[in-house]
Structure 1
């Protein structure tokens, strides 16, 4: 699989996102972790 870019807003903490899609009659699911960094 390749890379994808998303514009996220109002993310205030670490999160896990889920993605699900149907392709050629098959369901494909994936997940990714988002880590939020803040200035000290």
Structure 2
């Protein structure tokens, strides 16, 4: 159970970091990815 939870949290944090990178670099392709992934 905790493994699945940790895996989910890891994926969420990766997505969050990716979307934060979008703000820094303002790359349209990253912006599109973030929009697609919620």
Bin the TM-score by the shorter chain. under 0.3
Q: TM-score scaled by structure 2?
A: 0.18
Larger Cα Rg: Structure 1 or Structure 2? 1
- Higher share in helix: 2
